[in-house]
Copies of this chain bind each other. A is one copy, B any other.
Amino acid sequence: MLYITGIGRTKFGALPQTLQELAYEAMYNAVMDSKLSINDIDAIFVSNFLGGPLNGQLHFNSIIASLLPGINIPIVRIETACASSSIALKQALYSLSQFENVMVLGVEKMTSKTILGTTEAIAMAADRCLDQQNGLIFPAAYALIAQQYMLKYGINHDILEQVSFINHKNSRLNPLAHFFYKDVTIETIRKSPIIATPLNLFDCSPISDGAAAIIVSKEKKSDRDIEVLSSQYVTDAISITQREDLTSFKATRLAAKKAYSEAGLKPDDIDILEVHDCFTISELIALEDLGFCKPGESSELVINGDILKDGRIPVNMDGGLKANGHPIGATGLAQIYEIVVQLRGEAGIRQIKNANIGMAQNIGGIGGTAAITILGRS
């Protein structure tokens, strides 16, 4: 069994810190949260998506080495679009066949536009020839998905508004969330400008800066440690033009199947869930792909209050990508941070009851990559 023995993150939002400062803060917090010192860390796995196109900075493993003078350990950078940090975690877990304690760091400085604009940079997660060059930026791609889903299952935009509303409401209990300070009403959501029909501004996750870090260890260090019950990822074709079905992500379904199997669990066993709501429609699809309801029935979970704090399966208690924020390279680790806080019983006013097993779903691009992590109380 492997254990999460330390967690740390920064505030998410449009922040004054540099890429390096964000990275340092998250690593520092993770070490301080653990029973370890930085000298106990055998290797670091860094997740960063847009350091090149946005910050003019690649070779980020060596940047991290600069932040830790005299510590010449193996450090590597992983990039798999928005799923980068969950997949960095998996590489870290592989490495524990040889190490005792390793750190996983996710960081993104998205409000910097040193080289390119943000939309142009993010579009690099889609196929350049088939999608990008035809103008299929991400809000447009997810709008096509939302159109198909709404047509197929006969729902309207009201449900998406509810998803956005619930995530924003959750973020009001999370001081580190991008929109912690912001009261958002259904009225505000409904009246927000259209980005790509049917998606409006409040269907879209924000452009956030931020970092998160966790330490994983071969041995348990304290009663606050959380067990890694499963970590699985799979890939699928990158372009939306290569998919059989736009209303479900094959990569999520396959990764979830493997993860449930590895952990010996089923959806009913999950007490708390974090899903990748880069756009509101993505949350509905995730609930179905992960097996929490049948295809087309996730609206009912939303309407019935099942995904609320005291519901059957509380979802995105930190506010999700929508309201906690989406600093891309850090997003998967932020989901894991929230699950760990909840399973430890340290979530304060947003603590759910009976949190024994939690799951996080983190996807890259338009579902080209999907990573599932299942954690349990040790």
Contacts and interface: CB of A to CB of B under 8 A. Distances in A.
Contacts of A62: 80-81, 235-238, 364-365, 368-369
Interface residues of A, dominant DSSP:
mixed
A73 B129 CA distance: 23
Interface in A82-99: 87, 90-91, 94-95, 97-98
A29 interface: no
A242 interface: yes
Interface in A40-80: 49-53, 55-66, 69, 72-80
Contacts of A233: 74, 76
A90 B91 CA distance: 10
B52 A124 contact: yes
B238 A66 contact: yes
A239 interface: yes
A234 B65 CA distance: 9
Contact of A254 (B53, B57, B72, B232): B72
Contacts of A63: 127, 238
Interface size class of A (residues with CB under 8 A): 35 or more
A116 interface: yes
A66 B254 contact: no
A125 interface: yes
B116 A73 contact: no
A57 B128 CA distance: 6
B234 A74 contact: yes
Contacts of A237: 62, 65-66, 69
B242 A73 contact: no
Given A52-B53, A53-B115, A65-B237, A368 B78 contact: no
A50 to B, nearest CB: 8
Nearest to A365: B59
Nearest to A125: B59
A75 B365 CA distance: 14
A132 interface: yes
Given A55-B128, A94-B97, A97-B97, 10 more contacts: A50-B52, A53-B58, A59-B124, A61-B235, A61-B368, A62-B369, A66-B239, A72-B251, A73-B235, A74-B87
20 contacts: A51-B124, A56-B128, A56-B132, A58-B81, A59-B79, A59-B81, A59-B124, A59-B126, A59-B369, A60-B79, A62-B237, A62-B365, A65-B235, A69-B237, A69-B242, A72-B251, A73-B234, A73-B235, A74-B235, A77-B78
